[in-house]
Amino acid sequence: MSPALPPESLATTLWYAAPIVARVMEGQSLADGALERVPAARRPAVQDIVYGTLRRYGEGDALLAPLLRNPPYPVIRALMLCALHRLATWTDAPHTVVHQAVEAAGQLEEGRYKGLVNGVLRNYLRQQEALQQELADQPAARLWHPDWWLEKLQASHPEHWEALVAADNGPPPMGLRVNLRQGSAAAYLERLEAAGISGRLQGEAGILLHKPVPVSQLPDFASGAVSVQDLGAQRAAELLAPAPESRVLDACAAPGGKTAHLLERAELELTALDVDPLRCRQIEANLSRLGLAARVRCGDASRPQAWGKQPQSFDAILADVPCSASGVVRRHPDAKWLRQPQDILKFAYTQRRILERLWPALQPGGKLLYATCSVFPEENGEQVAKFLSRTPDARLQTEEQWLPGAEHDGFYYALLHKLA
């Protein structure tokens, strides 16, 4: 269904964005595919508003509180949150934003809340300075993060927490990984520049674009010349670096970026494992585009008996375990509002199970790379230290904590060696 509004208008964009934001407010992840159901022509604009609204949800929530006597329907509240975000970014056209939000409201909930939306947003414009001043004593509103999240960042990264917050609140960088089977990164950068896309080389196969572009503009993307992958994520294949012809397991492999990178670097006998059948199909599709092959299995890495793992089956294992995603929250802005403090302990339990169950599958003399996209110690260094203390044949070779910044997202890596 489409609204009875001009297709290119802000009102149409708000009409599509509000229900998606409302679903997140009610506990649903953006990963449910709601954005994919938006018409392709409108999707970039809708995603921009959805992501921006969720990044600064703490601020919008605090601004609306004194303006509303009774909470309206979730979709109407979400519409106002989207409008507040747009007011913050379109400062030269506030009345246009209000008008377009009211038009969108006319197509939601039978139009019963047009007056409410108009009144609340105009009250906000009249009281904007005073309302913003009241946020000074509300860290979640001022810094766009839940209080518990801010406390964890301050405790675990006392020297860097403010920089981490700033990184979370901004748009992510766009990194590319050149398929080295088809050409060098330097040669592909020349092709980008010829197409009017600027960037710089990073690492053995990486390019950091100066400005994000649609993948449709990347030369020969469809034929597998390049993939979109954060520069920090590319570090996984470089650290594990399995020898050619090795037997390798990529556990928790979806959507297949690290799987593909391993195969682009060397001929391997690689098994890609993931628990979700739909995401396993994503792995297969990504490998097909790149002209690569692996054995894709659907199964739970913490339950090896369910997918037929044998003891000492692999020379190298990549354990890219489920985690809080606290290092990539700017790409998943819903996560910081959906996560709860107890979720970190749940992830840590799952991570421990996966590590313990995968270790017997590693050959003596082999190596396992434990990886997360988290910045929380419970999922990273503390997890690995506990594993080493109870695993006599495990040794730590390399440990790296990448914090999100202008060039890459946040990742943790620990390369473990199994004594022969």
Q: Summarize the confidence of residues 222-245 as an average pLDDT.
A: 97
Say how many residues make up the chain.
420
Q: Summarize the confidence of residues 289-304 as an average pLDDT.
A: 92
Q: Is 273 within the bounds of a domain?
A: yes
Q: What is the pLDDT confidence band of residue 2, given thresholds at 50, 70 and 90?
A: confident
Do 65 and 99 share a domain, yes or no? Answer: yes
Count the neighbouring beta carbons within 10 Å of the beta carbon of residue 209.
17
pLDDT in tens, 23-76: 999 999 998 888 999 999 999 999 999 999 999 999 999 999 999 988 788 999
Q: What is the pLDDT confidence band of residue 303, given thresholds at 50, 70 and 90?
A: confident
- What is residue 309's predicted lDDT score, i.e. its pLDDT? 66
- What is residue 208's predicted lDDT score, i.e. its pLDDT? 98
Give the C-alpha distances (Å, rounded to integers) separating 368 from 32, 323, 396: 31, 17, 10
pLDDT in tens, 173-205: 999 999 999 999 999 999 999 999 999 999 999
Domain limit, last residue, from 229, 264, 292: 229
Do 265 and 348 share a domain, yes or no? Answer: yes
Instruction: Give the domain CATH number at 200.
Output: 3.30.70.1170
Count the neighbouring beta carbons within 10 Å of the beta carbon of residue 161.
20
SS3 label, residue 231: coil
Q: Is 154 within the bounds of a domain?
A: no
Instruction: Give the domain CATH number at 129.
Output: 1.10.940.10
Domain limit, last residue, from 122, 144, 166: 144
264/177 Cα distance (integer angstroms): 10
297-333 per-residue burial string, b: 16 or more CB within 10 A, e: under 16 = bbbbbbebeeeebeeebbbbbbbbbbbbbbbbbbbbb
**β-pair partners for 368:** 317, 416
Do 206 and 287 share a domain, yes or no? Answer: no
pTM exceeds cut of 0.85: yes
Do 311 and 205 share a domain, yes or no? Answer: no
Contact call for residues 318 and 366 (beta carbons, < 8 A):
no
- What is residue 91's predicted lDDT score, i.e. its pLDDT? 81
Beta-sheet strand order (sheet of 394-402) = 295-298, 269-274, 247-251, 314-320, 362-372, 411-418, 394-402
pLDDT in tens, 130-166: 999 999 999 999 999 999 999 999 999 999 999 999 9
Is pLDDT above 90 for 326?
A: yes
Q: Is 193 within the bounds of a domain?
A: yes
Contact call for residues 312 and 361 (beta carbons, < 8 A):
yes
Q: Is 271 within the bounds of a domain?
A: yes
Q: What token pair was written down for 53?
A: 């609204």
Range of the domain at 208: 174-229
Is pLDDT above 90 for 371?
A: yes
Catalytic residue list:
373
pLDDT in tens, 75-92: 999 999 999 999 999 888
Q: Is 68 within the bounds of a domain?
A: yes
- What is residue 69's predicted lDDT score, i.e. its pLDDT? 85
Do 242 and 349 share a domain, yes or no? Answer: yes
294/66 Cα distance (integer angstroms): 56
- What is residue 308's predicted lDDT score, i.e. its pLDDT? 66
Spatial CB neighbours of 253, under 8 Å, sequence gap ≥ 6: 259, 272, 273, 274, 283, 296, 318, 320
Do 329 and 390 share a domain, yes or no? Answer: yes
Do 302 and 178 share a domain, yes or no? Answer: no
Do 16 and 126 share a domain, yes or no? Answer: yes
Q: Is 153 within the bounds of a domain?
A: no
Do 250 and 297 share a domain, yes or no? Answer: yes
Say which residue, 259 or 71, is predicted with more confidence: 259
Q: What is the pLDDT confidence band of residue 354, given thresholds at 50, 70 and 90?
A: very high
Do 225 and 245 share a domain, yes or no? Answer: no
Is pLDDT above 80 for 304?
A: no
Number of domains in the chain: 3
Q: Summarize the confidence of residues 365-388 as an average pLDDT.
A: 98
Do 279 and 346 share a domain, yes or no? Answer: yes
From the list 348, 362, 250, the residue with the least C-alpha distance to 315 is: 362
Q: Is 178 within the bounds of a domain?
A: yes
Domain limit, last residue, from 183, 202, 229: 229
Instruction: Give the domain CATH number at 359.
Output: 3.40.50.150
Q: Is 158 within the bounds of a domain?
A: no
SS3 label, residue 411: strand
Give the percent of the chain with pLDDT over 70. 98
Do 378 and 243 share a domain, yes or no? Answer: yes
Give the percent of the chain with pLDDT over 90. 90
- What is residue 411's predicted lDDT score, i.e. its pLDDT? 98
- What is residue 90's predicted lDDT score, i.e. its pLDDT? 83
Q: What is the pLDDT confidence band of residue 206, given thresholds at 50, 70 and 90?
A: very high
